[in-house]
Amino acid sequence: FYRGKLPAPNMHLRGGSAVAKPQVEGADKDKIDRFDILIIGGGVAAGYCVKELVAKGIGPGKVCMVSEENCYPYERPALTKGYLLGKLPSPQHGGFLCNAEDVYLKRGIEVLLCNKVTEIDFVKRKVRTQSTRSKEQSTIEYRQLVLATGMDVERLTVPGSSLSN
């Protein structure tokens, strides 16, 4: 539902525009980003985590959110209930985003869309990511980690569960 232009695979959203990721060369020649707080996930929990951090006055460049989604976190229940019943604005008007796009941009929240976390090293406080649109990989170091990956729907496997409504 993200209506803006997605950044190139080696870019991410920062302060209102897509820019090259700030990188530090590590001993293994790997590109490394560093953040105080790393949020893994792009759903409603991640969106509300950002909202709370902004309310607490987190500074620019301190928070990064990594999401496989190609859009900012939005309220899926509100989408299916409120919008379809005509009680929320359309997707084009941000009717069910957890935070308006400018919350991320103005507050300096780094947002890596279309990226999946492939490895977490809890001891070294590092994660490996890979773009879902290219083979580009990167490493992110963090002081605190928030796992907000949500859940998948579990289908019942009982007799009759495959019948239509």
Instruction: Let me know if residue 70 belongs to a domain.
Output: yes
Give the CATH number for residue 46.
3.50.50.60
78: in domain: yes
Looking at the domain assignment, is residue 160 inside a domain?
A: no
91 occurs within a structural domain? yes
Instruction: For 92-122, write each residue's pLDDT tens digit.
Output: 444 566 766 677 777 788 888 899 999 999 9
Provide the domain count of the chain.
1
Establish if 31 belongs to a structural domain.
Answer: yes
Asked if residue 133 belongs to a domain, the reply is yes
Q: What is the pTM of this model?
A: 0.68
> Which pairs count as long-range contacts for 147-150, CB under 8 Å and 24+ apart, including other chains?
147/40, 147/41, 148/39, 148/40, 148/41, 148/43, 148/45, 148/46, 148/49, 149/40, 149/41, 149/43, 150/41, 150/43, 150/44, 150/45
Average pLDDT over residues 42-51: 87
- Residue 163: inside a domain, yes or no? no
Question: Do the domain assignments include residue 17?
Answer: yes
Domain that holds residue 104: 11-108+117-147
